[in-house]
Structure 1
Amino acid sequence: MIVVAAIATAMIATAAVLALVRLERGPSMLDRTVAFDVLTSTIVGAVAVEAAWSRRTETIPILVVLSLVGFIGSVTIARYAAVEPESEKRIRTAEEVAAEDAAREAALEAALEAERRARRRGTGPTAPHDDDVNEEEVGR
């Protein structure tokens, strides 16, 4: 057990030092994010080795919390470091939202009217009765 713990501790220490070097040098945000994630994983590994060495189960909640912190940290950094499309970078005005809603409503009304005309002619997908058209079925 002593040899296994010593080897595991040496590997974890090496990983932590390399992660710290990458965290400091960068050069990009992605490199720093990955280094932060590796560093968090090495901390979790160190706590796990200590728990196995001392045969203590009280440290398992600490492992879970550290894992969650690492995951949430990585996801948060990735979210804010992500490159967004040019069209998504600004907030639309109320007038733009209203215009888009009006265009959507007009397209829906045109689709409903086309279906009503097709049913009157008997070429629609269902029976030729105009009162069968249900706006909720068409998408409203």
Structure 2
Amino acid sequence: MSAETLIEYAIIGSMCTVGLSMLLATWRLLRGPSVPDRVLALDTLFVAAIAELMLFGMHLGTPIYFEVALIIAMLGFVGTVVLSKYVLRRDIVE
């Protein structure tokens, strides 16, 4: 077994694991008992989506998915800040 084959198996296994974590985070998002739990699940989904895109880009060998992951990271950060501010103050615009 060559090193490239082993790396491909590791990437595919990691993609399956991250996909499972996305399913569990989606479950927490839908069934979360409180709003902060749901905000945290949404943030976890953003991080898992970034990881999944990075792994997919490594699997295909194309750099375009890394740029998409960067855009999702920026949108995820802004979304988490806005939702956290809404949870704390019940108002987004001051």
Q: By the TM > 0.5 criterion, same fold?
A: yes
Further displaced range: 28-37 or 52-61: 52-61
TM-score by length of 1: 0.57
Shift of 1:83: 4.9
Of 16, 35, 38, 1:29 maps to 35
Alignment of 1:1-140 (within 5 A): 1-83=7-89
- SS of the aligned residue for 1:82 comes to helix
Larger Rg over CA atoms: 1
Identity %: 21
Counterpart for residue 129 of structure 1: none
C-alpha distance in 2 between matches for 1:54 and 1:6 = 11
Q: Could you list the runs of 5+ residues in structure 1 that have no partner in the other structure?
A: 85-140
C-alpha distance in 2 between matches for 1:48 and 1:77 = 25
| Aligned partners of 2:15 and 2:56 also within 8 Å | no
Shift of 1:2: 2.1
Q: Which runs of structure 1 show a deviation greater than 4 angstroms over 4 or more consecutive aligned residues? A: none
Residue identity in the other structure for 2:65: T
- The higher relative CO (CA closer than 8 Å, separation ≥ 6) is in 2
C-alpha distance in 1 between matches for 2:64 and 2:15 = 20
RMSD between aligned residues:
1.3
Q: Could you list the runs of 5+ residues in structure 2 that have no partner in the other structure?
A: 1-6
Shift of 1:60: 2.1
The count of aligned residue pairs is: 84
Residue identity in the other structure for 1:36: L
C-alpha distance in 2 between matches for 1:15 and 1:40 = 11
- SS of the aligned residue for 1:59 comes to helix
| Structure 1 or 2: more helix by fraction | 2
